[in-house]
């Protein structure tokens, strides 16, 4: 599954939630009242619907020099592949970025006009999304200047942009990066650059459906390739040294070889060695060997995520997006959260799943809080707050997985927050007070349970294909909802207080339920334009879970829709009955997954997770206008700067924070443009 990215913390502003199927994380609208706790300047920039933040790297100075070198080499390896993500997102992205950056750097005309300001904003939006499609909605971003203005800028700065790439900015073609509409040819009508523009969904299904893999230990077919037509025949172009993206991959390999030389132990060195071999060959069996070595390498202070991993950007769920995250262990928080991993079997055994769908042995789920030292590709600037890998299910079952919470990223969200959305959308003072006291803790616990327990739970029936094969385009949202439901079910259980995770399990659970229903039925709608359907997998799952639970509990008035002073609120009248409803839906979503019930998954998502009550949506957008904090946040990376002796040997590092978002983006383009 993709890294599982999280589930969601209710920090100030907007957060990211993830998945067990690996997506980079998905932001949830946050409404907590946390306040800034230090003097660090977290906010870098704000434009359009985006806020750009900084994060710190606590503990870096406590690492040994070799550990610091390892962190540095791994972050450099990640940045060398940055262009891959841009190309994967859309075939014209790199040409467009280079042209826009050249204009930005060389234009000497009037920079006080609205057109120039709109140009700057558009460029920042493109930087943030790694391309011209919105990082979250997948819609093509429309510039607020016209084609004649851009033509003038290009001419004045002597910048070349080929006609097709120029037209891509303004035309009505390729309007969705990922199109999951049930009425669309989801491959041909998605702009994502995993397939040739003339390849259809039926052709993809036939091509990969004909591939034979080991049914017990299947490779992730298509993970690191682009499927195109050559002379009318489908052919895979492999991401590897000497293959597609080879120029960038060779640079990645060079830094990984340096990292191999300073590995902390033999297991870590072996994992890096296999990752290098994979990049050289593109062989997916080697990728599995690497994933096993990585998942079972648990000693040392440094860890990383690197490769073509999450498949959320592929409408068919085969192709992995390039991403890297370099991590330093946070020992204190990791020790506190390890209790969930130790008790994973208890949670599985006592879950409401059908007995035949329960896993007899939950293997090797590790959960740690880590400190991020650098991110790239699909994890930057927009980042998850948690990750669970590897995604290949048989490896997870047989060899275990790693779940991590990105502690310093979460801390930055909390400290940059200032939103008062809670008071606007919560039903009453009791709900607000509960959120202020237990909201942050309940979010963290839900994230941990989603990643550690939810994604690790359950098993597929013998002879049933993988969810990618059986549930198809609904696989990601069903998996994320299933993991959410597992966490929700146990957040209202005295076991979490027995384990020392809270001082009041009931109030913690209520805070979690309040937030989930409030967000799933109302708050997250601020991310959509009026009239839009819900398309992103995590947003869909939060809506179908909440809407199904609301409908299921109507007879007993479990969740009450309240209208007061022309505003809508949702009030939970019976939390224990709602827990039972969550348990019932958890059982059903696991059944769909275990039995491969496509029609049931389709009906659940389409009937509850896609369409939006337009009157309520308009109301939510109007109520949200009072808040200035944008709905999406992301990060610039701290810059690790090596200090050298007279022989050119690294003797230490300083950490510098970028002054501006554009400074980092231009620096990256100058130093890491490999494609």
| Domains of the chain by residue range | 43-63+301-628
Taking residue 115's Cβ as centre, other Cβ atoms within 10 Å add up to 19
Contacts of 214 (CB under 8 A, 6+ apart): none
> Structure tokens of 271?
């994992």
- For the chain, the average pLDDT equals 91
Please report the pLDDT score of residue 34 as a whole number.
42
> Which pLDDT belongs to residue 116?
98
Of 366, 438, 302, 322, which Cα lies nearest the Cα of 81?
Answer: 322
The encoded tokens of residue 94 equal: 């790199």
Residue 392 φ/ψ, nearest 5 degrees: -65, 115
566 dihedral zone (left: phi>0; alpha: psi -120 to 50; beta):
left
Instruction: Give the chain's residues under pLDDT 50.
Output: 1-27, 32-36
The H or E element containing residue 335 is: helix 331-342
Per the listing, tokens 């992995």 go with 320
Q: What pLDDT does 554 receive?
A: 96
Q: Which two tokens stand for residue 294?
A: 């990585």
**Token pair for residue 249?**
């991959």
pLDDT of residue 410: 84
Q: How many CA atoms lie within 13 A of 645 on its CB side?
A: 5
> Could you tell me which of 432, 441, 444 has the C-alpha nearest to residue 406?
444
Pairing of strands 401-406, 365-377: parallel
pLDDT value of position 411: 83
The sign of the CA dihedral 503, 509, 510, 515 is positive
Written as six digits, the tokens of 169 are: 């900015």
Q: Supply angle C-alpha 556, 558, 564, rounded to 5.
A: 115
Is residue 272 within 8 Å of residue 256, measured between CB atoms? yes
Count of C-beta atoms within a 10 Å radius of residue 64:
11
Give the pair of three-digit tokens for residue 321. 């997006």
Largest Cα–Cα distance in the chain?
Answer: 78
User: 390: cis peptide before it, omega within 30°?
Assistant: yes
Peptide bond into 381 cis (omega under 30): yes
Tell me whether residue 205 is exposed, middle or buried, using C-beta atoms within 10 angstroms of its C-beta: 0 to 12, 13 to 18, 19 or more. Answer: middle
- Phi first, then psi, for residue 446 (nearest 5°) are -65, -40
Reduced to 3 states, what is the DSSP secondary structure of residue 492?
A: coil
Evaluated on CA atoms 480, 484, 485, 487, the torsion sign reads positive
**462: three-class secondary structure by DSSP:** coil
Residue 46, Cβ density class (10 Å: 0-12 exposed, 13-18 middle, ≥19 buried): middle
How would DSSP label each residue in 391-456? --HHHHHHH-EEEEEEHHHHHHHHHH----HHHHHSSSHHHHHHHHHHHHHHHHHHHHIIIIIITT
Distance CA 31, CA 14 (A): 8
- Taking the C-alpha atoms of residue 505 and residue 499, their distance in angstroms, rounded to an integer, is 10
The CA angle 329-330-336, to the nearest 5 degrees, is 125
Find out whether 324 and 377 touch, Cβ atoms under 8 Å.
Answer: yes
User: By the 8 A CB rule, do 279 and 245 touch?
Assistant: no
Question: In Å, what is the CA distance from 333 to each residue of 9, 349, 453?
Answer: 15, 26, 18
Assign 3-class secondary structure to 173-198.
CCCECCCCCCCCCCCCCCCCCCECCC
Per-residue pLDDT, 79: 98
Q: Are 383 and 25 in contact (CB under 8 A)?
A: yes
The helix (H) or strand (E) run that includes residue 322 is strand 321-329
Q: What is the pLDDT of residue 413?
A: 85
Closest alpha carbon to 391 in 285, 298, 291: 291
Q: Which residues 6+ apart lie within 8 Å of 276 measured at CB?
A: 253, 256, 257, 260
Q: Is the dihedral of CA 175, 181, 185, 186 positive or negative?
A: positive
The CA-atom distances, in angstroms, between 144 and each of 45, 103, 111, 154, 583 are 19, 16, 15, 17, 47
- Residue 6 backbone dihedrals phi, psi, to 5 degrees: -80, 175
pTM of the model: 0.78
DSSP 530: T
Contacts of 181 (CB under 8 A, 6+ apart): 189, 533, 535
Q: Which of 672, 606, 596 is nearest to 637 (CA)?
A: 672
pLDDT at 542 (0 to 100) = 97
Q: How many CB atoms lie within 10 A of CB 368?
A: 22
Helix (H) or strand (E) holding 376: strand 365-377
Cα separations in angstroms, 301 against 59, 295, 360, 373, 402 = 11, 15, 32, 12, 14
Beta carbons of 54 and 42 less than 8 angstroms apart = yes
Helix (H) or strand (E) holding 307: strand 302-310
Q: List, in sequence order, the alpha helices (H) in 464-536.
A: 467-470, 475-491, 495-498, 505-521
Distance from C-alpha of 34 to C-alpha of 261, rounded to nearest angstrom: 43
* Distant-in-sequence, close-in-space partners of 580: CB < 8 Å, separation ≥ 6: none
CA distance 448 to 171: 43
Q: Which residues have C-beta within 8 Å of that of residue 261, sequence separation ≥ 6? A: none
């Amino acid at each position: 599954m993709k890294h599982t990215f999280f589930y969601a913390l209710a920090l100030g502003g907007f957060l990211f939630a993830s998945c067990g199927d690996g997506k980079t994380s998905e932001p949830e609208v946050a409404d907590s009242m946390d306040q800034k706790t230090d003097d660090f300047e977290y906010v870098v920039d704000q434009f359009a619907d985006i806020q750009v933040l900084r994060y710190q790297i606590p503990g870096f100075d406590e690492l040994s020099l070799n550990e610091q070198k390892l962190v540095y080499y791994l972050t450099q390896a990640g940045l060398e592949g940055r262009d891959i993500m841009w190309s994967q997102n859309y075939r014209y992205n790199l040409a467009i970025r280079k042209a826009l950056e050249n204009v930005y750097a060389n234009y000497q005309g009037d920079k006080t006009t609205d057109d120039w300001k709109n140009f700057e904003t558009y460029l920042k939006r493109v930087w943030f999304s790694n391309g011209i499609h919105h990082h979250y909605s997948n819609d093509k971003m429309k510039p607020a200047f016209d084609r004649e203005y851009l033509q003038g800028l290009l001419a004045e700065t002597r910048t070349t942009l080929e006609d097709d790439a120029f037209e891509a900015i303004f035309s009505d073609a390729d309007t969705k990066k990922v199109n999951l509409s049930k009425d669309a040819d989801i491959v041909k009508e998605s702009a994502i650059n995993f397939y040739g523009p003339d390849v259809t969904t039926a052709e993809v299904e036939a091509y990969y459906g004909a591939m034979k893999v080991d049914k017990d230990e299947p490779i992730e077919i298509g993970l690191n390739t682009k499927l195109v037509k050559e002379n009318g025949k489908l052919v895979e172009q492999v991401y590897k040294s000497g293959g597609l993206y080879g120029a960038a991959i060779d640079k990645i390999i060079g830094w990984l070889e340096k990292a191999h030389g300073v590995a902390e132990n033999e297991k870590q060195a072996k994992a890096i060695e296999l990752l290098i071999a994979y990049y050289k060959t593109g062989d997916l069996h080697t990728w599995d060997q690497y994933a096993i070595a990585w998942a079972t390498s648990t000693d040392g202070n440094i860890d990383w995520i690197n490769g073509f991993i999450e498949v959320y950007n592929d409408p068919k769920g085969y192709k992995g997006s390039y991403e890297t995250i370099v991590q330093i262990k946070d020992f204190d928080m990791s020790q506190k959260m390890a209790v969930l991993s130790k008790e994973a079997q208890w949670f599985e055994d006592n879950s409401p799943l059908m007995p035949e769908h329960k896993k007899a042995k939950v293997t090797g789920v590790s959960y740690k809080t880590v400190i991020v030292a650098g991110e790239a590709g699909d994890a930057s600037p927009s980042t998850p707050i948690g990750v669970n890998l590897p995604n290949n299910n048989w490896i997870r079952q047989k060899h275990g997985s790693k779940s991590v919470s990105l502690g310093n990223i979460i801390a930055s969200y909390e400290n940059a927050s200032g939103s008062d959305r809670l008071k606007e959308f919560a039903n009453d003072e009791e709900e607000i007070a509960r959120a202020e006291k237990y909201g942050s803790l309940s979010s963290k616990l839900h994230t941990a349970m989603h990643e550690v327990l939810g994604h690790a739970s359950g098993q597929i029936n013998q002879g049933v294909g993988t969810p990618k094969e059986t549930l198809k385009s609904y696989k990601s949202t069903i998996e994320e909802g299933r993991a959410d439901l597992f966490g929700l079910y146990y957040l209202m259980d005295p076991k979490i207080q027995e384990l020392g995770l809270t001082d009041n399990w009931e109030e913690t659970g209520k805070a979690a339920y309040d937030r989930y229903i409030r967000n799933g039925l109302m708050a997250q709608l601020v991310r959509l334009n009026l009239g839009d359907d819900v398309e992103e997998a995590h947003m869909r799952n939060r809506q179908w879970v909440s809407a199904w639970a609301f409908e299921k509990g109507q007879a007993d008035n479990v969740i009450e829709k309240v209208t007061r002073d022309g505003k809508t609120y949702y009030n939970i009248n019976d939390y224990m009955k709602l827990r039972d409803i969550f348990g019932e839906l958890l059982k059903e979503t696991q059944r769909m997954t275990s039995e491969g019930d496509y029609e049931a998954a389709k009906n659940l998502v389409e009937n509850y997770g896609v369409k939006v009550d337009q009157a309520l949506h308009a109301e939510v957008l109007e109520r949200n206008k009072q808040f200035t904090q944008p709905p999406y946040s992301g990060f610039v990376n701290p810059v690790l700067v090596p200090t050298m002796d007279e022989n050119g040997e690294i003797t230490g590092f300083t950490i510098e924070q970028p002054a501006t978002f554009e400074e980092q983006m231009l620096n990256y383009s100058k130093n890491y443009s490999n494609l």
